[in-house]
Structure formats: structure tokens, C-alpha cells
Amino acid sequence: MTTATKMATDAAVQIGKEKLLRLYEQMIAIRLFEERVNDLYTRALMPGLAHLYIGEEAIAVGVCEALQPDDYITSTHRGHGHCLAKGASPPLMFAELLGKEAGYCKGKGGSMHIADPATGNLGANAIVCGSAGIATGAAYASKYLKNGRVAVCFFGEGALGQGILYEEMNLAQLWKLPVIFVCENNSYNEYTHFKEATAGDVAARPEAFGIATHTIDGQDVRTVYQTASRYIERARRGEGPAFLQCITYRYHGHHVGDIARAYYRPKAEEQEWVTQKDPITLHGQWLMDNRMADRATLDAIQEKLVKEMDAAVEFAVNAPYPDPSRVTEDIYA
Amino acid sequence: MPDAATATVAPPRDATKEIGFGDAVREAIAEEMRRDPTVVLMGEDVAEAGTTFKVLKGLVEEFGPGRIIDTPISEVGFTGLCVGAAMTGMRPIADIMFGDFLMLVMDQIGNQAAKIHYMSGGKWNVPIVIRATMGATRRSAAQHSQSLHAWPSHIPGLKVVVPSTPYDAKGLFKAAVRDNNPVVFFEDKISYTKVKGLVPTEEYVIPLGVADVKREGSDITFIATSSMVQVALGAAAMLEEVGISAEVVDPRTTWPLDEETLINSVKKTSRCIVMDEGYGRYSVAAELAQTVQEGAFYDLDGPVRRLCAMHVPIPFSPALEDVTVPTEKQAFDLARQMCNR
């Protein structure tokens, strides 16, 4: 048995068929959701900005599938994938993106601020690294209240430039808090390669605090799931935080509208990721190679989700805007 | 040094126990921690040291280091952590040793804590109290002497408390802990040592957003906050000797703001001086003055005036620092001029 075959068998046994298919389905859901966001935005139906998660789906799905429903996440400006992976409902997501009353935040938050207590989503955050404190605080509360919950803080490698990350990592390790810092390294801080903005080695930073640190292939959903599971359960046991650096790529621009990208990243590089390292293609092929699914099964998953997402878009497009009188509600609890 | 010296404010009728300003805050924290196990306090040297001002002395002995928590020198870190803890079942108190350090944590306060409830469509609450200090004349220079209560007052979603007496500090702090919103609570550092007052032995809570008339009068209203209440009361006593009856109104919270009490006082006296130790430009004093101007314009004899910190970085030398803070004499002189007496 080759090493690759053995690893595949191990993953199949450890993860199980049902979960392996679930990982695929969840990634497809995010991909289809984001394709519709792109469409809504380019048709001028969506106000504001849209930061697409396409290409990075394996990270949100791999991590969130390793969490319990009442565990916490914090998300980012590129947050649709995290929210969906943690259980958000697409119609309410789309409604929020379009600024509708039916949306998760009654139209007051929008794309960058989806929040949902029912799924443990403490909120997407439009300040880069703005939620590091919130996630660490949720982990602190979990430890204090002894409720066994773990908090995951998603952030991009751009957040490595923010001081708060290091203050929170220090506190998290000092107090052995159940928080997982998930760094989605897609190589680009907006329009700047991260190596132009990041001194030294990324992993060396959390390691300096004594935090368990692991750099993984963020395009391999099984690796993400298995690694995240290990560190999440470790955190749940009270053994402290972890830092996962997931190497990934965003296929689209920093936001929809960031079209002419050649000045900051080569087209060939984009093509290589899209054609060689696509997390959905790779996992789909793996499922077929390992006889977990055939093409028809995968197609059926996609078809079902296309219908769901189209219906979700229709719901949101037809949903009413909030009455302007609502503008002064919800400022204070 | 403001010449307020050691003032003892007239106590509420049922108050029987004399305590200091800092004691009042400590008692409030202790009572709330006894009542609610989800209340914790964290900050720099808050436990065994009891803060640099010794205000929290003894709390760690009662509640242990798991609830009175020493943090690294990491204001952003522990304040941000408190925001998350507040969202997930706790009522944390973040202790910012010097109010000047609020500038370090403004993202956590202004972009996160203040907006989470609104941005989430009312789904998440952030019941955090941020304790901070304010006030000059401690020879601490420009980075440890400012009164920055205007900053959080500017942001929707925050409540801001500026107590002037032990009675108010205790009752308002308890309300702040119980509030489901982020509350920034400013304690005047000079008041820790200079202000004593009576409080009831039994429990009481003062709702946020209710002004208090500290002294009744008929010729002129001082609207004064925090440290300036003592100064206004001193000026009022001096004015009484020259036959001018001054009323002193303390808003106690800059938000929510009890506009009605301020306006009614000025409607009665027809003259108003706003006293606040923050800077005057784009300030709490400006907002209070405008509130009165809009609400009592036709009852005013003249423009509402302001006495605030001089618009300079707070200097170190006593010779320089003392001229930056409004004094009883300045308030007295301005009031006489406005009353033509």
C-alpha cells in the first residue's frame, strides 16, 4: 500500500462517509452562494462591497464541521463562508446582503457583519483582526462558565499586521483559553503580497507564545477537518489555544470589482490554483477515487443546492426593505 | 489644583455612612460581585495591588484571583477579551488605569462594543463596564491627566457615567454593571482622596440618565460634571456671600442625558455656566450648553458660558498645570459678571 493510499484509507475510516460527503456538500453550498453574490453584485442588486470566499471553502467547512453547534466563531469581511459553514440559513444571509428586513441583522449589518447567536456566530467583523478579542473573550467565558465551548477566530494573513492579535494570543496561552486562531493565508493583504508586509516566519509568531501551531494545506478539506478536530478537542480538554495557518487562495479579487489584478498577482498564478488546487474538485475526485461517491451522486448534491440557492436569492430579492423608522431601533439593548 | 479642597456633599436623606469616593466604587463592585457570579474585573495590577490608586484593595482577598484578575499591560487585549466575554454570558469590568489609555482601546470600545448590538440587529448584547479615570492636577503630565469622557459620549451605543460623589458613584456603578449595554465609567482621580460623602447602609441603585440637583438656587445654574461639581459648589458658596443664589445641577451621565432637568433649571434661573474638566472644543460642555440653549433659549438672559480644561496638552509643572483647570474663583467671577453683581 502506498503512503497516499494508506492516508486516504485512514481518512475514510476516521472521518466516515457521511461526514466526507457533508464536507463536499458544504463546500459546494458556499461556492454556489458566492457565485450568486457575484451575480447580484454585478447586477447592482447588492449595495456596498462583496468580498468573495471562493477558493477558500475547505477552511471554513473543515473547521466548522469539527465544531459543535454551540461552539463559537468570529468571522471577517470575507465571512460568508464561515457563517454558512457554521449553519447560517442562505435565505436570511442573502436577505442581509441585500439590506432587507428579513436578513440576519434586519439589514443593519450587511455582508461584513452577519451575526447569529443561534449558530454561535459572534459576528463577522469589518475591522481587520477586530474580532480576535471577541473570540478570545468567548473562550474566556467558556472556561469561566465551564460550558465546554470552543471559540474559533477566523482571520486572513493581513491580520498578522495588527497588534491586537499578539495581545490576544498572549492572553489565550497565558490563561489556557479554548480558542483556535485560524489564519487563512491567501497570500494577499488586499492588493499586496503578504511577504511584502510580513517579516519573518508566520508560524514562528504563535510558536513564540508557546501556542500549538500547525501549517496545513488549506485546499485539502480532509486535512483541515482532521487537524482542526484534533486542536478543537485539545482546547476543549483545557489544554489551551492553537494556531492553524491554512495556505489558500482567493480566486476572485479582494472584492467584486477588483478585476484588473495583474499589477499585484500574475494571471498564471491564479490559473494554477483554480485548475490544480481547487478544494471542491480535489475532494470530489477523492470521493470518487475512494468509491465514496460517483459522479452522479456529486452532481445530484450540486443540483439540489442550486435549487436551494436560487430559491434563497429569490426570497431575498423579493423581501421588503426595513421601514426607515427602524433606523433608531437596536442601538441600545 | 482646583480649590475645591475637601468637599462633603449634602447627603441624600437616608444616607448614614461616610465613605470616600474610591470606597464607593469598591463597595459597588463588591456588592455586584456577591450578587452575580458572572461579574469579574480585570486590568493591570488590580488584584493584590488593588490598582495604582488602591481603590480595589481587599477585593482579591474576598473574590480570589479568578474574579479580580491581573492582566498583562495589554489594554487592547483585555478590553477586547472582555467584549467577547460580555457577549457570551459574563458581565466583565475592564479596568483602564488611566483614562488616557482609552485611546489605545478605542477600536474595541467604539467599533466593537458600541456597535455589536446594532450591527447584529439587536441579537447580541455587550454588558461590559469599562472603568476609567480622569482629571488633572496630579502632576502626571499630558498622558496621564486627560478627561476624555467626550470620546465615548460621541459614539452611539455607549453609555457614559461621570459621577461626582460617593453616593452617585456607588449607585451608578451598580446600575452600570446591571446594564445590558457597554458603559464607560469615569472616576475623577482627585476625588479618590478629596471627596467623601454619606451613603445608605442598605443597598441602592441609581438609574443611568437621571440628573441630580446638588444645590438649589434661583439666579444662575452651574451645570457641572465629575470633578467640576465640587468646584461649582465651592463657587456657589462664595456667590451666596455676595447675594447670588446659584443652582448646581449634575447630569451624572453624559449619555443617556437628562435634558429635562438641565433645561428646567435654566428656565428657572435664566443664566447658565457649564463646567467640565474635558477640553472645551467639540466637547461634553459644548453639547450640554447647546442642549440648554435649544431648550431654554427664550428664558435665557444671555449666552450659555463654558468653563473647561484649557486647550493645551496637560503640562507637568505645577505652575503650568494649575492654570489649565477651571477654579472656584473663575466660576465665581464669571457668575458675578453674568449676574451683573
For the stretch B181-222, pLDDT in tens is 999 999 999 999 999 999 999 999 999 999 999 999 999 999
- Looking at residue A196, the DSSP 8-state letter turns out to be G
- CB nearest B88 (choices: A107, A138, A330): A138
- B2 pLDDT band, cuts 50/70/90, is very low
Cβ neighbour number for residue B28 with a 10 Å cutoff: 24
Helix (H), strand (E) at residue A192: strand A192-193
**Do residue B72 and residue A117 have CB atoms under 8 angstroms apart?**
no
3-state class (DSSP) for residue B96: strand
Query: Rounded distance, CA A231 to CA B67, Å?
Result: 27
CA A324 from chain centre, in angstroms, equals 32
What cell numbers appear for A313 in the block?
Answer: 436569492
pLDDT digits (tens, 9 = 90+) for A293-333: 999 999 999 999 999 999 999 999 999 999 999 999 999 99
pLDDT digits (tens, 9 = 90+) for A110-131: 999 999 999 999 999 999 999 9
**Cis-peptide, bond into residue B256, ω within 30° of zero:** yes
- B3 pLDDT band, cuts 50/70/90, is very low
Q: Percentage of chain B surpassing pLDDT 90?
A: 95
Helix (H), strand (E) at residue A72: strand A72-74
With b meaning 16 or more CB within 10 Å and e meaning fewer, what string describes A246-266? Answer: bbbbbbbbbbbebeebeebbe
- CB nearest B121 (choices: A104, A138, A147): A104
- The residue-averaged pLDDT of B115-144 equals 97
- B30 pLDDT band, cuts 50/70/90, is very high
Cβ neighbour number for residue A59 with a 10 Å cutoff: 31
Determine contact, residues A228/A244, Cβ cutoff 8 Å.
yes
Helix (H), strand (E) at residue A183: strand A179-185
Q: Comparing C-alpha atoms, which of B291, B212, B215 is closest to residue B246? A: B215
- Looking at residue B315, the DSSP 8-state letter turns out to be P
Query: Rounded distance, CA B308 to CA B288, Å?
Result: 12
Residue type, A188: Y
Q: What is the pLDDT of residue A12?
A: 80
Query: Rounded distance, CA B209 to CA B179, Å?
Result: 12
Q: What is the pLDDT of residue A3?
A: 72
- A192 pLDDT band, cuts 50/70/90, is very high
- CB nearest A127 (choices: B84, B86, B111): B111
**Do residue A109 and residue B40 have CB atoms under 8 angstroms apart?**
no
**Do residue B108 and residue A125 have CB atoms under 8 angstroms apart?**
no
Residue with cell 428664558: B299
Q: What is the pLDDT of residue B6?
A: 43
Average pLDDT over chain B, rounded to an integer: 95
**pLDDT value at B275 more than 90:** yes
Cβ contacts of A103 on chain B, cutoff 8 Å: 121
Strands annotated E in chain B: 17-20, 39-43, 68-70, 91-96, 129-134, 159-161, 183-188, 196-199, 212-215, 220-224, 246-250, 253-255, 272-279, 305-309
Nearest Cα of chain A lies from the Cα of B31 at a distance, in angstroms, of 20
Interface test with A, best of B120, B128, B208 (most A CBs within 10 A): B120
- The residue-averaged pLDDT of A170-179 equals 98
- The residue-averaged pLDDT of B29-56 equals 96
- A27 pLDDT band, cuts 50/70/90, is very high
- B10 pLDDT band, cuts 50/70/90, is low
- In this structure, the dihedral spanned by the alpha carbons of residues A56, A62, A65 and A71, taken in order and rounded to 10 degrees, is -80
pTM of the model: 0.95
Q: What is the pLDDT of residue B12?
A: 62
Nearest Cα of chain B lies from the Cα of A288 at a distance, in angstroms, of 41
Residue with cell 511584502: A196
Helix axes A221-236, A17-42, angle to 10 degrees: 110
Nearest Cα of chain B lies from the Cα of A121 at a distance, in angstroms, of 10
Sign of the C-alpha dihedral computed for residues A274, A275, A276 and A282 taken in this order: positive
Beta B91-96 vs B159-161: how paired, if at all? Answer: unpaired
Cβ contacts of B116 on chain A, cutoff 8 Å: 115, 123
Q: What is the pLDDT of residue A10?
A: 82
Determine contact, residues A188/A160, Cβ cutoff 8 Å.
no
Q: What are phi and psi of A324, to 5 degrees?
A: -55, -25
Q: Provide the terminal-to-terminal Cα distance of chain A, rounded to the nearest Å.
A: 61
Q: Provide the terminal-to-terminal Cα distance of chain B, rounded to the nearest Å.
A: 27
- The residue-averaged pLDDT of A145-170 equals 98
Helix (H), strand (E) at residue A10: helix A3-15
Does residue B311 have an active-site annotation?
Answer: no
- B13 pLDDT band, cuts 50/70/90, is low
- In this structure, the dihedral spanned by the alpha carbons of residues A305, A308, A313 and A316, taken in order and rounded to 10 degrees, is -140
Query: Rounded distance, CA B200 to CA B167, Å?
Result: 8
CB within 8 Å of A52: residues ≥ 6 apart:
A34, A37, A38, A78, A80, A250, A251, A252, A255, A256
Kindly tell me the burial class for residue B70, based on how many C-beta atoms sit within 10 Å of its own C-beta (0-12, 13-18, 19 or more).
Answer: middle
- B7 pLDDT band, cuts 50/70/90, is very low
Cβ contacts of B112 on chain A, cutoff 8 Å: 125, 127, 130-131, 133-134
- A5 pLDDT band, cuts 50/70/90, is confident
- A11 pLDDT band, cuts 50/70/90, is confident
Q: Which of B144, B149, B154, B311 does the annotation list as catalytic?
A: B144
Comparing A19-28, A177-186, A203-212, B46-55, the range with the smallest average pLDDT is B46-55
Average pLDDT over chain A, rounded to an integer: 96
- B16 pLDDT band, cuts 50/70/90, is confident
